[in-house]
Amino acid sequence: MRKTPLHRRLETLQFLEPSDWTILDGLLTREEQANEGELIVLENQEINRTRIIHNGWAHRYKSFQDGRRQIINLMLPGDIVGFYAVMRNRSDYGVEALTPLEMSIFPAADLIDALSQAPRLMLALSWIASQSERILDEQITRIGRRNATERMAHLFVELFLRLRKAGIEENEACVLPMTQSVLADTLGMSHVHANRSFKSLSRDGGASLAQGKILLKDIDLLAMRAKFDASYLEQTSLPKPTLKAVQENEPFD
């Protein structure tokens, strides 16, 4: 099995044993592709598949009857789509490809089987799940308590760092394949205001537009404008007590 961004994220844990990798790779046998703009998951539709993104971007969104749309999270290589799919009979969100996508796909129930067999894998994938949850936390904080430019700069820095962690090269991580409307729906603002905020960032030299793509030019500058604190994304290893706990029970202090 080739090394996917998910592999790279999990490798940094230095925690899984060969048998765990084998079980993981057992899940990643079937591939799926999608075209730009394709809907991978439909809102309010049954879901029973889990996907791992190997290449390309997608977004997870909710839409209103009156046309409003909120993008909840951007899904990057190494992210899991429908981790909890087996626990729910309907999807409360949609997922749409922002670029052509390469993914693995498997029945969500297989995940449960794999995790019951391999506690370390369970821990490792829960670690991924916990990261997604922290990213949602930060999205809430960003939208709730930051103004438009801060919000945008903050998102840019987050995306850059997430891409790096998935093993995407720095120069590739600086190109965001999204329109300003997508940006607006992610940040909870109008596309007109998103444009004004973006212009403000590009005037400073933090970002620019090239071939219809957003280019991040000065991450440090963006981080400063966003008052960025990276701690919610940092995690190089599982804490020691955890590592022990998978082998043997730990006494309660």
Partner DNA sequence: CGCAGATTTGAGATCTGTCAAGGGATGTGG
Partner DNA sequence: CCACATCCCTTGACAGATCTCAAATCTGCG
Per CB under 7 A, residues contacting DNA are 147-149, 179-181, 188-193, 195-199, 209, 211-212
Q: Residue 127 CA to chain centroid, in angstroms? A: 13
**Mutual angle of helices 119-145 and 148-165, in 10-degree steps:** 160
Question: Which residues, in sequence order, are bridge partners of residue 187?
Answer: none
Tokens of 178: 């999204």
| C-alpha separations of 244 from 18, 127, 237, 249 in Å | 18, 16, 13, 8
Site size for a copy of itself (CB under 8 A): 63
Tell me how far apart the alpha carbons of residues 137 and 116 are, in angstroms, rounded to a whole number.
Answer: 28
Contact set for a copy of itself, span 98-117 (CB under 8 A): 106-110, 112-113, 115-116
Q: Which CB, 8 or 191, lies closer to DNA? A: 191
- When asked if residue 196 is in the footprint of a copy of itself (CB under 8 A), the reply is no
Are the C-beta atoms of residues 119 and 64 closer than 8 Å to each other? no
Q: Residue 12 CA to chain centroid, in angstroms? A: 17
Question: Which residues, in sequence order, are bridge partners of residue 69?
Answer: 63
- Choose which of 3, 30, 203, 213 interacts with a copy of itself (CB under 8 A): 30
Q: How far is the CB of 235 from DNA (least distance, A)?
A: 31
- When asked if residue 147 is in the footprint of a copy of itself (CB under 8 A), the reply is no
- When asked if residue 220 is in the footprint of a copy of itself (CB under 8 A), the reply is no
Q: Which residues bind a copy of itself (CB under 8 A)?
A: 30, 44, 48, 62, 64-65, 68-70, 72, 84, 86-90, 92-93, 106-110, 112-113, 115-116, 119, 122-123, 126-127, 129-130, 132-134, 136-141, 143-145, 187-188, 227, 231-232, 235, 238-239, 241-242, 244-246, 249-250, 252-253
